[in-house]
Structure 1
């Protein structure tokens, strides 16, 4: 049964007590609004359709982000990036909002704010993805069954096409010249170009993972969460053979932080005068060379690179079109050189 009481001069509180349900109350500006709300809630209770909004109305987004960091993010293999995003979201005006009051328009407004700030579409996408997971987790695990996920209804930023930066003629030589006597960094670049391994995969390598006798590297910890074996070319084997075996067991002991490697790459490219070249572009270059300079088929290349699907590999195949004329004249794929 619902009861109503006046709170101060301007507000009315509706309170509903019904057997089998928690006491539910809410405050309104007028008694008529309170009575209308109470009538709707009692109807839902009678039909067994009532879902309490108490939890969702009791916490701000910022408070839920803190709880999310404690309970969910430790399950991730590399939670640091998500922790950084969560902390950044907490500082926004949206972080002060009660969870139940956040609508898809608020998410769209947040997206527009970030776009005006010049933030990349992918960064915004990752932030919205975190918010979406948070709302789903709050609904499933924290008793906020009344929540709807506002991120699902909001329009997402349009992502730019994938990067297609390749090494042009003479750029590889310029890069190594700029690296100079940094032997370890030079070796990392060579391994990247020969194997198409990711930045993190290379830096995590230990000598236990390297089997020179069988010409392979075993990767236990990959981005996709699956193990894979990467075959080694003659050039890659020569690079590994030339490295000193450090007491730590790490193949590249001086460079352990991925971000530091990217900064070192940026500085080397600046010295070499190479515009818009990033370390991850070496993976693109290596994969493209597999298509252009070898007779490996798509499934074999996928096994080497560790791409999750053939669709992920599809954007590399167009790079072979420049060689089609030579192929039509009888040249084998491995004999064609396109730089």
Structure 2
């Protein structure tokens, strides 16, 4: 049987308050106790716990009820992000930003769909775009799954699965206009020029280019190997003759960085070149969009082959490029061969 008693105390403002403490002692289980504002809540908690014990399905909530989200995030950073993610800084920064918010002070067992919904509204009120909020939720979802699976908090429910997630923003469709490629190369530094050309030939992401090592380059077989990508999957990329020529013109080493610029340095070089060339609203990632568009427009590679080059996770993510093949499809309907 559960024992429930009223506990009186003086709060920090000097006022008298009371709480109801529920305690359960059962043979074969550690004693369980919890404090509530209302007696009805204490009664319900005790009934639920005793029912689970009777059915043999009880899982202790002690760890989840005694660990705040902020504390869990610190552990998640140390035991998961820093160890399992190769490029961990961005995810660490995201985790720390969430840790410092109001939701970080809540105990894990206290966080439900309602609290996640409040977090989403708070972020939206700050003007944060849907894609960024979804990345925050993905981090929280992974944390709860790790806590359930690896930290012995099986009683936890992943609250992000219950929340209505914000819509993703519309994908950028910025492409290079006539003369912009030439202007960009003209105003780029000598160290940055080959990176621009290489990005347009390979459709590689900024982080992939920055992390490219000579040990992964195979000029003999016209390919390069990426041990880890944005999708946390390895990928082998076939190289065009132009891409091979770009690599051959670089100072070759047995190992070490191919382009010798970090991801942030690539962004810095891009901003300076765009500003100097007086080009409006062009980002480095737009070069990837341009490269993939050219693969659809200028080659007979099918969508699956382009997916292998671009490293997209699904065919659906390439669907927005399908309109670039409309004229070729019309030609085939008229009898033209691939």
Asked if 1:155 corresponds to 2:156, the answer is no
Relative to the length of structure 1, the TM-score reads 0.86
In the other structure, the counterpart of 2:13 is none
Asked if 1:183 corresponds to 2:213, the answer is no
**TM-superposition CA deviations, 1:35-70 (whole Å, max 9, x none):** 454344333322323333222211111011111112
In the other structure, the counterpart of 2:76 is 68
Asked if 1:92 corresponds to 2:101, the answer is yes
The CA distance in 2 between the partners of 1:33 and 1:177, in whole Å, is 71
In the other structure, the counterpart of 1:271 is 276
In the other structure, the counterpart of 2:87 is 78
Q: Which runs of 5+ in 2 are unaligned?
A: 10-17
The CA distance in 1 between the partners of 2:334 and 2:277, in whole Å, is 37
**Cα distance change of structure 1 residues 204 and 161 upon mapping to structure 2, 3 Å threshold:** same
- SS of the equivalent of 2:237 reads strand
**Cα distance change of structure 1 residues 318 and 26 upon mapping to structure 2, 3 Å threshold:** same
The CA distance in 1 between the partners of 2:40 and 2:278, in whole Å, is 72
- SS of the equivalent of 2:64 reads coil
Relative to the length of structure 2, the TM-score reads 0.86
Runs of 4+ in 1 over 6 A off after TM superposition: 322-333
The CA distance in 1 between the partners of 2:116 and 2:39, in whole Å, is 32
RMSD, aligned CA? 2.7
Instruction: Indicate conservation of the 8 Å contact 1:218/1:230, yes or no.
Output: no
Match of 1:54 among 56, 62, 65: 62
Instruction: Indicate conservation of the 8 Å contact 1:28/1:34, yes or no.
Output: yes
Instruction: Indicate conservation of the 8 Å contact 2:225/2:234, yes or no.
Output: no
Q: Shift in Å at residue 249 of structure 1?
A: 4.1
Instruction: Indicate conservation of the 8 Å contact 2:270/2:283, yes or no.
Output: yes
In the other structure, the counterpart of 2:204 is 197
Q: Shift in Å at residue 93 of structure 1?
A: 0.7
Asked if 1:314 corresponds to 2:323, the answer is no
Instruction: Indicate conservation of the 8 Å contact 2:214/2:257, yes or no.
Output: yes
- SS of the equivalent of 1:8 reads strand
Instruction: Indicate conservation of the 8 Å contact 1:139/1:147, yes or no.
Output: yes
**TM-superposition CA deviations, 1:233-279 (whole Å, max 9, x none):** 2x3333223222358643212x1x11221122122112222222111
**Cα distance change of structure 1 residues 218 and 232 upon mapping to structure 2, 3 Å threshold:** farther
**Cα distance change of structure 1 residues 295 and 6 upon mapping to structure 2, 3 Å threshold:** closer
Q: How many residues align?
A: 328
**Cα distance change of structure 1 residues 186 and 112 upon mapping to structure 2, 3 Å threshold:** same
Instruction: Indicate conservation of the 8 Å contact 2:129/2:169, yes or no.
Output: no
The CA distance in 2 between the partners of 1:40 and 1:99, in whole Å, is 19
**TM-superposition CA deviations, 1:271-300 (whole Å, max 9, x none):** 222222111111111121122122223333
Instruction: Indicate conservation of the 8 Å contact 1:219/1:230, yes or no.
Output: no
Match of 2:20 among 12, 19, 30: 12
Q: Shift in Å at residue 89 of structure 1?
A: 0.7
Q: Which runs of 5+ in 1 are unaligned?
A: 334-339
Instruction: Indicate conservation of the 8 Å contact 2:214/2:253, yes or no.
Output: no
Match of 2:111 among 102, 105, 126: 102
- SS of the equivalent of 2:35 reads strand
In the other structure, the counterpart of 2:15 is none
In the other structure, the counterpart of 1:120 is 129
